[in-house]
Amino acid sequence: MPAQQMAETALLARCHWLLQARWVVVAALAGALAANDGVLKLQRHTAPIWAVAAFIAIYNAVFTAFERRPKVCLIGERRGVAERIAAFVFMQMALDALALTVLLSFSGGIENPIAFFYIFHVALAGILLSRRLCYALASLATALVVAVAIAPLDYGFLGGVIQEAGLRRNAAFAASYLAAFACTMYVTAYVTTSVAADLRRRESELLSTAEALRETSEKLAALEEHKSQFMMTAAHQLKSPLAAIVSLLQAAGTGQVSPEKEKEMLARAVGRANGAVRQVQELLDLARLRALDPARHARKVLDFREVLESVRATIAAQADEKRVKIEFQAPDRAAWVEGNRDDLFVAVLNLVENAVKYSDSGGSVKVALRAEDAGWGLAVSDTGIGIPAAALPNLFREFFRAGNAIRRKIEGTGLGLSIVEQIVRMHGGRIRAESEENRGSTFTVWLPRAP
C-alpha cells in the first residue's frame, strides 16, 4: 500500500475513534444528569445541560453518517482525500469546543475548572491534524473562553453544586486567568505539533524504508526467477546437441553402417560438438560481462573506425562464401570513443555476422558509422529475412530466436544479441532494432564520444 494511502487510512481510523469517544462522553453526561435528576439532586436546573448533551448527540450522529463516505464529506471534490478527512475532523473538534463553551456558560463560566478541558482537543488536534489547524483550534478555544469571561451572564440561577464566587468580575483575576489559559492552549499546540511532526517524519522514514525493502525483495525474487529460468533454458539448450552427439556416436559405433555413413555421422557429431562449445563460450562471455563492474572495466580511448576495419577483415571470407555484398562507410576523421576494444569488436562482429547469416545469397549488408548526438551512431542494415513484429520486444532476451529463423533451420544460440546489448550498455550506449519480416533489419548502436 502506498505511503499516502496508508496515512489516509490511519487518519480515517483516528476519525472513527473520535466519533466513538464522543458517544462515550454523551452517555456519561446523560448518565450523570439522570442520576442528578433522579437521586442526587446536586444541580437544580439541568435542562440547559440536557440540551447540550442532545446537541452533541445530534451532530455526532450526522458526522457518523458522513464518516462512512469520507471522500464526499462536506468539503467538495477539489481537495485530496487526506485534506478532506482533516477538515472533517477539525469541524468535529470546533463543534466540540462550541458545545463545551455552552456547557461552561451554564455551569459557572471561567470559575468552573472544566474550562481547561479544551486542552484535550488541542492536544488531539496536534496529533491528528496539521500545525495550522491545531493553532486554529487553540485560537478558537481561547476566543470562546474570552467570550464567556466578558459575557454579561448571571450564573447564579442554576444553583446546586456550582455557585458563582464573583471572581470573574475581578479584572486582575480575569486577565491573569485568560493569559494563563491562552498560554496553556498555545504551549499545548506547540508541544503536540512538534512531537507529532517528529513522529510523522520518523514514520515516513520507516514507511519509505519498508517500501524500499519491499521493492528490493520483489526485484530479488524476480532476479531469482530469471536466474532459475536462465539455468533451465541453458541446460535445455545444451542437452539437445549433447543428446544428438551421443546418438550419432552410438549409431556410428555399432559397426552396422558403411564407412561413408560412419564418416558422415562423425562429421555431424563434430559439428554439433563445435556448436555446443560455441554456446558454452557465449554463456561464459555473457556471465563475465554481467559480473563485471563497469567502473573497473578496462577502457581506453580508441578510434572506433579501427574496430570496424578489424570486423571487415574477419567477416570478408564468410560474406564471400555466401555471396553477400558488404559495404562499410565511416567518416574521414577519427571516431574517438572510450571503451574496451575486444568487447566492442565482439559486439560489432556479432551484428555483422547476423546480418550476413540471415541474408539470402546475393543479398547485401551495409555498415555505416556517423557522428550523432554527442556520440557515434553505427547502423548495421541487411536485406535478409527480417524479424516478425511480435518478436521484436524479446529480441535481446537470452536464448530467444524468432520463429522465421527457426523454421528456416538457421543455426544460432540465441545469445549473441544479449551479449551485444550488455556490451553496449557497459559502454554507456544504447541499441535498438528496426525490422519488417522478409524486408531486412537494421540494428542501430549509439556510443558516447570520448571526453
Q: Is the dihedral of CA 24, 30, 34, 40 positive or negative?
A: positive
Tell me the angle at which helices 259-291 and 416-426 cross, rounded to the nearest 10 degrees: 20
Query: In this model, does residue 72 exceed pLDDT 50?
Result: no
Q: Is residue 194 part of a domain?
A: yes
pLDDT at 296: 56
Asked whether the beta carbons of 358 and 321 are under 8 A apart, the reply is no
Q: Answer yes or no: do 212 and 329 share one domain.
A: no
Q: Is residue 244 part of a domain?
A: no
Q: What is the mean pLDDT of residues 313-321?
A: 90
For the stretch 419-441, pLDDT in tens is 899 899 988 999 999 998 888 99
What is the rounded distance in angstroms from the CA atom of residue 130 to the CA atom of residue 83? 10
pLDDT at 193: 92
User: Which has more pLDDT, 83 or 309?
Assistant: 309
Q: Answer yes or no: do 211 and 317 share one domain.
A: no
Q: What is the mean pLDDT of residues 276-296?
A: 71
Q: Is the dihedral of CA 187, 191, 192, 193 positive or negative?
A: positive
Query: In this model, does residue 390 exceed pLDDT 70?
Result: yes
Q: Is residue 254 part of a domain?
A: no
Q: What is the mean pLDDT of residues 152-176?
A: 59
Edge-to-edge order in the sheet of strand 375-382: 325-329, 364-372, 375-382, 441-448, 430-435
Q: Answer yes or no: do 195 and 308 share one domain.
A: no
Q: Answer yes or no: do 191 and 323 share one domain.
A: no
Q: What is the mean pLDDT of residues 313-340?
A: 91
Residues 6+ apart with CB under 8 A from 402: 387, 388, 391, 395
Q: Answer yes or no: do 212 and 301 share one domain.
A: no
Q: β-strand 336-339 against 375-382: which pairing, if any? A: unpaired
User: Which has more pLDDT, 279 or 94?
Assistant: 94
Q: Which of 138-142, 190-194, 257-261, 315-319 is least confident?
A: 257-261
Q: b/e map of 309-319 (b: 16 or more CB within 10 Å)?
A: ebbbeebeeeb
Q: Is residue 212 part of a domain?
A: yes
Could you give the count of Cα atoms lying within 13 Å of 412 in the half-sphere of its Cβ?
Answer: 26
**CATH code of the domain containing 358:** 3.30.565.10
CA angle 133/138/140 to nearest 5° reads 90
Domain span at 105 = 3-216
Q: Answer yes or no: do 22 and 134 share one domain.
A: yes
**299: helix, coil or strand?**
coil
Structural domains in the chain (count) = 2
Query: In this model, does residue 156 exceed pLDDT 70?
Result: no
Q: Domain end: 165, 186, 216, which one?
A: 216
Q: Domain end: 193, 216, 239, which one?
A: 216
pLDDT at 265: 82
Q: Answer yes or no: do 131 and 26 share one domain.
A: yes
User: Which has more pLDDT, 37 or 447?
Assistant: 447
pLDDT band (50, 70, 90) for residue 111:
confident
Q: Answer yes or no: do 207 and 301 share one domain.
A: no
pLDDT band (50, 70, 90) for residue 234:
low
Q: Domain end: 167, 186, 216, which one?
A: 216
| 411: Cα separation from own chain's centroid | 42
Query: In this model, does residue 151 exceed pLDDT 60?
Result: yes
Q: Is residue 225 part of a domain?
A: no
User: Which has more pLDDT, 396 or 46?
Assistant: 396
pLDDT at 226: 67
pLDDT band (50, 70, 90) for residue 162:
very low
Q: Answer yes or no: do 54 and 152 share one domain.
A: yes
pLDDT band (50, 70, 90) for residue 275:
confident
Q: Answer yes or no: do 75 and 190 share one domain.
A: yes
pLDDT at 188: 93
Q: Which of 43-47, 382-386, 391-395 is least confident?
A: 43-47
For the stretch 245-270, pLDDT in tens is 887 788 777 777 788 888 888 888 88
Q: Answer yes or no: do 212 and 359 share one domain.
A: no
Query: In this model, does residue 236 exceed pLDDT 90?
Result: no
> Average pLDDT of the chain?
82
User: Which has more pLDDT, 209 or 292?
Assistant: 209
Q: Is residue 103 part of a domain?
A: yes
Q: Answer yes or no: do 427 and 315 share one domain.
A: yes
Asked whether the beta carbons of 329 and 366 are under 8 A apart, the reply is yes
Query: In this model, does residue 158 exceed pLDDT 60?
Result: no
Q: Is residue 279 part of a domain?
A: no
Q: Is residue 227 part of a domain?
A: no
Q: What is the mean pLDDT of residues 130-150?
A: 90
